[in-house]
């Protein structure tokens, strides 16, 4: 083991890796509680299957394309194929000495790669063939996530040292949010019968999922310090404050507009706050985190209202929460980032550096564009493979639990 190996850092990143893994069932419950009974198992499976599909792809090719130094700054190379040269030794990434084993860093990043395409599933519930979904997330992981991860974090990536993304605001949330928008439009609206009840079937399940996501997000953000140090503690604090503030502000918005504070609103607000603070968790102050958390519900709530006017069917508002929330987080990082929090960071607009916000916007637009264009291309590939990526109308009416899996997620008294 190399001399810079740290047992404490390794222990913390091991725990953080497990915490991020816990976000997968958290996301599954969060989404499943908002769907209808006849599709609950299908929604759960869309998150869980990503665990297997993306893990195998990350081992074989994805990690190498994301973090190896390639011949260009836009995509990684092939030195880490099948985890070749990824071992128990510590290593250096973009000039920074990483004090945990390389194979642990790979596993930690694997969890990010898993949850990102799973986020997209919330936009297309009730209507996508499970087989088409599996192929879609496999292609998306390789051809959208991996290049974007390399651009922002990988060895020699184009945005390394130019734009800031502490834990995935650009790589995870903007990319998945804009991809969700594209896929929901391409698949078309759900075919709901007149007066069909499409309300969430189990909001306690959604709140449980919110709690698991919130808990796991500490590994997501604080774990991205890659060390058991003050920066990890700082990121944990900013993460919690942003989520708590956003949940309260969303409730306040509902009190003012619909006169009722809803459980779904609080859950949506808390997750939006977690999304918005992710790129800046290790770069902004606690006060800035509260400001970021206070503003994001106004953006996401307004986007949900606008969605109804525009007429696209992003079923669980992935674009409003993750796409728009992630975009605000990237911009906010460009405004509030300060080297007083993280000397390895870059000062933002409030400290007199306007170039950071320009780079933040550029990286965000690249992520959004890659999500929109890449998703469209992958959709047509999948559509060609399966003749249609969407289930037939009669299967949609019956429900995807029975038609796609031959099981019922919830067996009710008959």
Q: What is the pLDDT of residues 50-67, one digit of tens each?
A: 999 999 999 999 999 999
Average pLDDT over residues 309-328: 96
Using the 8-state DSSP alphabet, how is residue 94 labeled? T
Cα angle 276, 282, 286 (rounded to 5 degrees) comes to 70
Q: For position 171, what pLDDT does the model report?
A: 98
DSSP structure string for 171-240: IIIIHHHHHHHHHHHHH----PPTT---S-S-HHHHHHHHHHHHHHHHHHHHGGG-SSSHHHHHHHHHHH
pLDDT tens track for 343-396: 999 999 999 999 999 999 999 999 999 999 999 999 999 999 999 999 999 999
Confidence category of residue 209, pLDDT binned at 50, 70, 90: very high
Place of tokens 């899996």: 405
**Is residue 84 predicted with pLDDT exceeding 60?**
yes
Going along the chain from its start, the domains and CATH numbers come out as: 7-405 (1.10.3430.10)
DSSP structure string for 10-36: HHHHHHHHHHHHHHHHHHHHHHHTTS-
**Is residue 213 predicted with pLDDT exceeding 90?**
yes
**Is residue 7 predicted with pLDDT exceeding 60?**
yes
Contact 129/121 with Cβ under 8 angstroms?
no
Give pTM, 2 decimals: 0.96
DSSP structure string for 349-364: GGGT-HHHHHHHHHHH
**Is residue 409 predicted with pLDDT exceeding 90?**
no
**Is residue 166 predicted with pLDDT exceeding 80?**
yes
Confidence category of residue 197, pLDDT binned at 50, 70, 90: confident
């Amino acid at each position: 083991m190399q001399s810079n190996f740290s047992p404490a850092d390794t222990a913390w990143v091991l725990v953080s890796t497990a915490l991020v893994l816990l976000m997968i069932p958290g996301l599954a419950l969060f989404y499943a509680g908002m769907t209808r009974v006849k599709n609950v198992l299908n929604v759960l499976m869309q998150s869980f299957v990503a665990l297997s599909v993306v893990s195998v792809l990350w081992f074989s090719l994805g990690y190498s394309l994301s973090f190896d130094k390639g011949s260009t700054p836009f995509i990684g190379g092939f030195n880490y194929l099948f985890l070749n040269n990824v071992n128990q030794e510590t290593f250096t990434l973009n000039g920074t000495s990483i004090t945990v084993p390389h194979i642990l860093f790979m596993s930690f990043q694997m969890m990010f790669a898993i949850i990102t395409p799973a986020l997209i599933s919330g936009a297309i519930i009730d209507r996508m063939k499970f087989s088409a979904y599996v192929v879609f997330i496999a292609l998306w992981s390789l051809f959208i996530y991996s290049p974007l991860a390399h651009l922002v974090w990988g060895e020699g990536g184009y945005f390394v040292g130019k734009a800031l993304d502490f834990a995935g605001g650009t790589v995870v949330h903007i990319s998945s949010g804009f991809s969700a928008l594209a896929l929901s439009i391409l698949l078309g609206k759900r075919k709901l019968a007149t007066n069909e009840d499409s309300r969430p079937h189990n909001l306690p399940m959604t709140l449980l999922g919110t709690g698991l996501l919130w808990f796991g997000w500490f590994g997501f953000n604080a774990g991205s310090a890659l060390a058991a140090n003050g920066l990890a503690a700082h990121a944990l604090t900013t993460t919690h404050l942003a989520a708590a503030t956003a949940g309260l502000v969303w409730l306040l918005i509902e009190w003012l507009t619909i006169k009722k504070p809803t459980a779904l609103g609080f859950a949506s607000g808390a997750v939006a706050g977690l999304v918005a603070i992710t790129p800046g968790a290790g770069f902004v102050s606690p006060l800035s985190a509260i400001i970021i958390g206070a503003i994001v519900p106004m953006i996401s709530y307004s986007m949900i209202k606008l969605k109804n006017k525009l007429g696209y069917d992003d079923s669980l508002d992935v674009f409003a929460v993750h796409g728009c929330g992630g975009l605000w987080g990237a911009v906010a990082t460009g405004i509030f980032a300060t080297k007083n929090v993280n000397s390895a960071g870059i000062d933002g607009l409030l400290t007199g550096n306007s170039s950071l916000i320009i780079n933040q916007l550029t990286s965000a637009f690249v992520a959004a564009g890659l999500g929109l264009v890449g998703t469209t291309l992958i959709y047509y590939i999948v559509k060609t493979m399966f003749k249609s990526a969407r289930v037939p109308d009669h299967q949609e009416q019956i429900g995807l639990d029975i038609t796609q899996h031959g099981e019922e997620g919830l067996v009710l008294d008959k």
